[in-house]
Amino acid sequence: MHTQAVSSRIMPLNTESLFAARMRNMRPSLVRELLKNAGGPGFISFAGGLPNPKFFPAEALIAATEAVLREDAANVLQYAVSEGYPPLREWIAARYKQRFGLDIPIEEILITSGSQQGLDLLGKVLLDPGDVVINERPGYQGAIHALSMYQPRFAGVTLGDAGLDVDELGRTLQTHSGRAKFVVITPNYQNPTGITYSDANRRAIADVIRRHNVLLVEDDPYSELGFAGETAPPVRAYLEDRGVLLGSFSKIVAPGMRLGWLVAPQEIMRRVVIAKQGADFHSNNFAQRVLHRYLISNPIAEHIARIRAGYASQARAMIAALERHLPPDIPFTRPQGGMFIWVTLPEAADSMAILKDAVAQKVSFLPGAPFFTDGDGRRYMRLSYSQADEATIEEGIARLARVVLQHLDAPAAEHAAAG
Amino acid sequence: MHTQAVSSRIMPLNTESLFAARMRNMRPSLVRELLKNAGGPGFISFAGGLPNPKFFPAEALIAATEAVLREDAANVLQYAVSEGYPPLREWIAARYKQRFGLDIPIEEILITSGSQQGLDLLGKVLLDPGDVVINERPGYQGAIHALSMYQPRFAGVTLGDAGLDVDELGRTLQTHSGRAKFVVITPNYQNPTGITYSDANRRAIADVIRRHNVLLVEDDPYSELGFAGETAPPVRAYLEDRGVLLGSFSKIVAPGMRLGWLVAPQEIMRRVVIAKQGADFHSNNFAQRVLHRYLISNPIAEHIARIRAGYASQARAMIAALERHLPPDIPFTRPQGGMFIWVTLPEAADSMAILKDAVAQKVSFLPGAPFFTDGDGRRYMRLSYSQADEATIEEGIARLARVVLQHLDAPAAEHAAAG
């Protein structure tokens, strides 16, 4: 870049040589890049896992902000304890008690900057390069990204309609004995598949975990979004000292507030708090105090019921549209909650090539590849129904199905060329 | 903990074996522990680097919250881009232009969860275990903590009244050539010493940096707090492609909002954004939008002028009290801005032992040790004047001086026993 003569006293900078080894194979996340470039008038996105803004409680948050700043600005706006605002942690504990009868002391709850930060802190505290993380196959791409920074190897375990293959989980733990630090799962309305682990599967997973020197990390951001109401208890209910649980306010209040939480046994929590102090001292205190005031001043159960009903209706609309526009031999999941449907295309399909054409037709989704750590995923599509209304879902699926059918009709040679 | 018989199928958990190597020598920060335990009625704290809450603009933040949520809740409360809210980044760029004539494109600015997160992200992107970080001696303990998570070796360079010893900096860079990734400094109203680098020292540092394959990280949270107005330009002004600059809204607006920023050349910024996505997707969007609205709707220059005048008066009060209550052979710094005074006690003094007795007398400060990475620091005290009013400062310094004088009068044997 510099055109002037370089003085002999100046050493040219070799920026590449300064990066840590962990950055070598890092690429910007496909999801993020898509969020940046796809859009504009008439564009229909089934790509991002974004909550529907019609459920954001703007007026109630204004009232909560006014109340906490008028009453206690000197503390609301000051530095605060790393663990998080104690009454907010008490609210979380009370909710676990109410929903599942679980007793979680607030000393085992840390407020995080979204549950994504919970994954990052666990990577920092638990992973040395070469350690093994056992994850779902397919699994949440945000967890794969956060944990990849700590250079683990991933070992995927097959995810079926009722949860994880527990025999395969046992064999995988055996294979990686001594290097496997934790198993990370999303038992409710999983991202990307939308499937939910049965209660029997949860108990069976707990049994397997107890037979190994390993932790279970249960990433549970969609927990409250069951269309029919409550889910089975978290696996943590059967594990105690080896269960870590991540939760989020992003899907029941608002993701822009970046608040979630991490539940961990005290010996692990002590280390996580040290990592939290290094990372950002504490989570946004202003947002914590506003959120807490909102939660205790409003009928949250009714608010959550409205979100559940809204997403249930949008999910029904997407299932109906997929049945109408796709041939019956293309299977897709029928979620009981959450935000996602997972479509399995024929073996030869290339969802990345389909995405490129779909974006040209003003509709998007996420291709399957980022959810696999072994290079697989080419034939899958993740569809999110959370953001669009029912009529838009019908129109978007009609568009998308036309693109899919064109690809499936094309000769095999063309698929090969697209790959 | 479990008293029931353990089934043969259950493996006892060895939690210790699951932690990453980086956690092995980690202890909770002394600062944090002090913030938890020292306090109560009549307690006077000179320990924490906390802004004075009388400068928190509570009513203006209520108005800003109401405005942004009424106008644009669907975006304010939604997920957002990792780099941060573009108009907030434009505000930061405009301020650098206005203050120093610096042109910084917004692509080189990332909004962070406080400038502490900037340090964490730089550690993540740049440091492999065993790499060398060159820091000030003494240096900011929060940076030492954040960076320690990435297992570097620290090499301290002596800090004098006008800045860093540039000859020593050159020799240290030579010694650690190939492993030194960056030099981290706080040129304005340094934490812990309160000293400010002269413009000549800044230019000399830039000259040395340019002769090596290394980055300069300039941690600048107190930048706006000069008692007499503006500071010299940041070292980044003389460096361009090898300068990284960290800023913070904690000291000019409120730390509870946890917002700061990181300025870096684009090749480094690309990697930092990938790390940011893994860490927490993006900084709190609600707080970013409220802060931005506050900044563009209020006379910020006047607000900052009030903070400067307030801290200047508190600093004068503390300097006067130290002159009154301590013997003249105990030197201390006379800051031109910021929040801190650094006291150098006689060689035999033990500031940790003094702190224990001071807390019993209801006054606190920070001992010097956490600001050194080589085990030194025993004879120093960091005093913060930011939180207390002038009368409280006089009373607190009188109390503290009594404790200090008792310790200095005690026989050497007693000091040895306390260590």
Whose structure tokens read 């002391």?
A: A105
**Token output for A57:** 């409680």
pLDDT band at B240 (very low <50, low <70, confident <90, very high): confident
pLDDT band at B186 (very low <50, low <70, confident <90, very high): very high
| Residues A34-46: tens digit of each pLDDT | 556 667 889 999 9
To the nearest whole percent, how much of chain B has pLDDT over 70?
Answer: 93
Residue among B1, B29, B280 whose CB faces A113 most closely: B280
Low-confidence residues in chain A, pLDDT < 70: 1-8, 28-38, 411-419
Whose structure tokens read 């040679």?
A: A413
**Token output for A63:** 């009232």
Give one DSSP letter per residue of A343-371, joined into a string: EE--TT--HHHHHHHHHHTTEE-EESGGG
Residues A216, A74 share a domain: yes
Domain's final residue, options A241, A267, A297: A297
Give the separation between CA B138 and CA B374, rounded to whole angstroms.
Answer: 10
Q: What's the mean pLDDT in B254-260? A: 97
Give the separation between CA B229 and CA B331, rounded to whole angstroms.
Answer: 26
Distance of CA A272 to the CA centre of its chain: 20
Radius of gyration of chain A (CA): 23
The distance in angstroms from the start CA to the end CA of chain A is 36
Domain's final residue, options A297, A331, A349: A297
**Token output for B220:** 């600048």
Residues A327, A289 share a domain: no
Give the separation between CA B138 and CA B381, rounded to whole angstroms.
Answer: 11
Residues A63, A49 share a domain: no
Crossing angle of helices B266-280 and A115-126, in 10° steps, is 100
Number of H helices, E strands in chain B: 13, 13
A416 assigned to some structural domain:
no
* Beta-ladder partners of B83: none
* Beta-ladder partners of B159: B164
* Beta-ladder partners of A158: A137
Residues A272, A340 share a domain: no
Whose structure tokens read 């009368």?
A: B391
Give the separation between CA A120 and CA A139, rounded to whole angstroms.
Answer: 16
Strand boundaries in B306-418, DSSP class E? 340-344, 363-364, 366-367, 380-384
- For A281-306, b/e burial (b = at least 16 CB within 10 A) is bbbbbbbbbbbbbbbeebebeebbee
Residue B261 has pLDDT above 90, yes or no: yes
Q: What was the pLDDT predicted at A31?
A: 53
Residue B201 has pLDDT above 80, yes or no: yes
CATH number of the domain where residue B387 is located: 3.90.1150.10
User: Taking CB atoms and an 8 Å cutoff, what residues of chain B touch A255?
Assistant: 77-79, 285
The DSSP letter of residue B413 is H
User: What average pLDDT is seen over chain A?
Assistant: 93
Provide the 3-class DSSP secondary structure of residue B205.
helix
B13 assigned to some structural domain:
no
Widest pairwise Cα distance in chain A: 72
**Token output for B334:** 């006379």
Provide the 3-class DSSP secondary structure of residue A66.
helix
CATH number of the domain where residue A131 is located: 3.40.640.10
Whose structure tokens read 């830039």?
A: B206
Residues 6 or more apart whose Cβ sits within 8 Å of residue B301? none
B166 assigned to some structural domain:
yes
Reduced to 3 DSSP states, what percent helix, strand and coil does chain B have, rounded to the nearest 5?
50, 15, 40
**Token output for B111:** 């909004």
Residue among B74, B80, B82 whose CB faces A56 most closely: B74
Q: What was the pLDDT predicted at A28?
A: 64
The number of beta carbons lying within 10 Å of the beta carbon of residue B380 is 23
Residues B402, B323 share a domain: yes
B2 assigned to some structural domain:
no
**Token output for B85:** 């809210």
Residues B209, B127 share a domain: yes
Q: Is the dihedral of CA A273, A276, A277, A282 positive or negative?
A: negative
Residue among B17, B58, B207 whose CB faces A69 most closely: B58
Residues A149, A34 share a domain: no
Give the separation between CA B221 and CA B134, rounded to whole angstroms.
Answer: 19
Residues A222, A178 share a domain: yes
Q: What was the pLDDT predicted at B34?
A: 56
Residues B236, B384 share a domain: no
A16 assigned to some structural domain:
no
Does the distance separating the beta carbons of B271 and A1 come in below 8 Å? no
A15 assigned to some structural domain:
no
What is each CA distance from A112 to A56, A135, B45, in whole angstroms? Answer: 20, 22, 28
User: Taking CB atoms and an 8 Å cutoff, what residues of chain B touch A150?
Assistant: 20
**Token output for A327:** 């041939």
Range of the domain at B326: 20-49+302-407
Q: Which residue has the higher pLDDT, B265 or B240?
A: B265
Residue among A11, A267, A277 whose CB faces B15 most closely: A267
Whose structure tokens read 């959370």?
A: A386
Q: What was the pLDDT predicted at A416?
A: 41
Q: List the single best residue of A45, A132, A280, A307 to mutate versus B (max B Cβ within 10 A).
A: A280
The DSSP letter of residue B337 is B
How wide is the angle at C-alpha B199 spanned by C-alphas B193 and B201, nearest 5°?
Answer: 65
Q: Give the CA count within 13 Å in the CB-facing half-sphere of A395.
A: 12
Q: What's the mean pLDDT in B2-19? A: 72
Backbone angles phi and psi of A262, in degrees to 5: -130, 130
Q: List the single best residue of B9, B16, B18 to mutate versus A (max A Cβ within 10 A).
A: B18
Domain count across chain B: 2
Crossing angle of helices B115-126 and B266-280, in 10° steps, is 110
Length of chain B: 419
pLDDT band at B241 (very low <50, low <70, confident <90, very high): confident
**Token output for B101:** 């004539």
Tell which residue, B261, B241, B175, B164, has the closest CA to residue B203: B164
| Residues B80-114: tens digit of each pLDDT | 999 999 999 999 999 999 999 999 999 999 999 99
Residues B267, B316 share a domain: no
Residues 6 or more apart whose Cβ sits within 8 Å of residue B318? B341, B383, B385, B393, B397
User: What average pLDDT is seen over chain B?
Assistant: 93
Give the separation between CA B94 and CA B77, rounded to whole angstroms.
Answer: 26
Does the distance separating the beta carbons of A213 and B32 come in below 8 Å? no
Give the separation between CA A366 and CA A373, rounded to whole angstroms.
Answer: 16
Domain's final residue, options B297, B325, B340: B297
| Residues B26-36: tens digit of each pLDDT | 766 665 665 56
Q: What was the pLDDT predicted at A1?
A: 39
Whose structure tokens read 């919970």?
A: A118
Residues 6 or more apart whose Cβ sits within 8 Å of residue A374? A137, A154, A156
Crossing angle of helices A58-76 and B58-76, in 10° steps, is 140
pTM of the predicted model as reported, rounded to 2 decimal places: 0.94
Provide the 3-class DSSP secondary structure of residue B174.
helix
Q: What's the mean pLDDT in B40-50? A: 91
| A81 burial via Cβ count (<10 Å: 0-12, 13-18, 19+) | middle
Does the distance separating the beta carbons of B59 and A62 come in below 8 Å? no
Choose from B3-7, B228-232, B294-298 the range with maximum mean pLDDT.
B294-298
CA closest to A31 among chain B residues: B277
**Token output for B145:** 């903590």
Give the separation between CA B175 and CA A222, rounded to whole angstroms.
Answer: 53
Residues A278, A143 share a domain: yes
CA closest to A26 among chain B residues: B274
Q: Give the ipTM.
A: 0.94
Question: Are the C-beta atoms of A343 and A380 separated by less than 8 Å?
Answer: yes
B417 assigned to some structural domain:
no
Q: What was the pLDDT predicted at A35?
A: 53
- Kindly report the nearest CA distance between residue B334 and chain A, in angstroms: 26
Tell which residue, A274, A268, A277, has the closest CA to residue A181: A268
- For A90-123, b/e burial (b = at least 16 CB within 10 A) is ebbbebbeeebebebebebbbbbbbbbbbbbbbb
| Residues A353-377: tens digit of each pLDDT | 999 899 989 999 999 999 999 989 9
| B225 burial via Cβ count (<10 Å: 0-12, 13-18, 19+) | buried
B348 assigned to some structural domain:
yes
Does the distance separating the beta carbons of B287 and A286 come in below 8 Å? yes
To the nearest whole percent, how much of chain B has pLDDT over 90?
Answer: 88
pLDDT band at B409 (very low <50, low <70, confident <90, very high): confident
User: Taking CB atoms and an 8 Å cutoff, what residues of chain B touch A61?
Assistant: 65, 69, 77, 286
Does the distance separating the beta carbons of A76 and B11 come in below 8 Å? no
Q: What was the pLDDT predicted at B85?
A: 98
> Which one-letter amino acid corresponds to residue A355?
L
Tell which residue, A97, A275, A264, A102, has the closest CA to residue B13: A264
Length of chain A: 419
| Residues B148-177: tens digit of each pLDDT | 999 999 999 999 999 999 999 999 999 999
Residues B154, B210 share a domain: yes
Alpha helices in B176-299 (DSSP H): 199-210, 266-280, 285-297
Distance of CA A167 to the CA centre of its chain: 25
Question: Are the C-beta atoms of B274 and A24 separated by less than 8 Å?
Answer: no
Q: What was the pLDDT predicted at B39?
A: 75
Residue among B15, B257, B277 whose CB faces A284 most closely: B257
Tell which residue, B195, B204, B200, B152, has the closest CA to residue B334: B195
Give the separation between CA A384 and CA A50, rounded to whole angstroms.
Answer: 8
